[in-house]
Chain A
Amino acid sequence: ETGVTQTPRHLVMGMTNKKSLKCEQHLGHNAMYWYKQSAKKPLELMFVYNFKEQTENNSVPSRFSPECPNSSHLFLHLHTLQPEDSALYLCASSQDGTRSSTDTQYFGPGTRLTVL
């Protein structure tokens, strides 16, 4: 719908598993974002990549490892997660990550992650 796709849409993993979330944008944007949305909490910015370079790491634990091989693809590698990491993980893109406050961000549908 918005030109940003995320896979998988649902993921259940154990605390010792390693998994990856994938995001792809078809909008020709230069910035990509990972957000975490937990129940009853504000949307939390995790990482920002602008022109493939990480420009923001919002004090995210190292068990979350982002990767941005090019401006169209963004991954979030997950390792030894905790049950409290269960949430909806949203990917977004915008034209220019240095103007987050003025650029419209286009969101993917999210990956619903459950950590057992």
Chain B
Amino acid sequence: SQQGEEDPQALSIQEGENATMNCSYKTSINNLQWYRQNSGRGLVHLILIRSNEREKHSGRLRVTLDTSKKSSSLLITASRAADTASYFCATDQGGGSEKLVFGKGTKLTVNP
């Protein structure tokens, strides 16, 4: 069953702008991960945030987690054309399940 759901489904911005993508989930989680996928390629892990963390940074990436709202956001600052990709959140299903469940993703296009 689908756990994480990204919003928006597609996002188009200009180079230099910030891009914000959101992920909502249904059940309590232990961790939430964000992955990136270039067109027709495999996924690449970006960042993991634990349920007891509220914010995490990695380079131009900033991830927040609000467990009360069951949501997370991924912010890419000063976007570049090379950031064009699909971005997925992945969560465990809670209840002791260790399976990682992915959302449908947000397709980000950064125009030069």
Question: Chain A residues in contact with chain B, CB under 8 A?
Answer: 2, 4, 40-43, 45, 48, 56, 88, 90, 92, 97-102, 104-110, 112
Contact B101–A107 (Cβ < 8 Å):
no
Contact A100–B48 (Cβ < 8 Å):
no
Question: Chain B residues in contact with chain A, CB under 8 A?
Answer: 2, 29-31, 33, 40-45, 48, 88, 91-92, 97-105
Contact A45–B99 (Cβ < 8 Å):
yes
Contact A101–B40 (Cβ < 8 Å):
no
Contact B40–A110 (Cβ < 8 Å):
yes
Say what secondary structure dominates the interface of chain B.
Answer: strand
How many Å lie between the Cα of A94 and that of B107 in the bound state? 25
Task: Give A86 Cβ to nearest chain B Cβ, in Å.
Answer: 14
Once A42-B2, A43-B88, A104-B48 are accepted as A-B contacts, the answer to whether A109 and B100 lie under 8 Å apart by CB is no
How many Å lie between the Cα of A74 and that of B103 in the bound state? 25
Contact B104–A107 (Cβ < 8 Å):
no
Contact A109–B30 (Cβ < 8 Å):
no
Contact B48–A107 (Cβ < 8 Å):
no
CB-based nearest A residue for B42: A107
Task: Give A44 Cβ to nearest chain B Cβ, in Å.
Answer: 8
Contact A90–B42 (Cβ < 8 Å):
yes
CB-based nearest B residue for A91: B42
Contact A43–B102 (Cβ < 8 Å):
yes
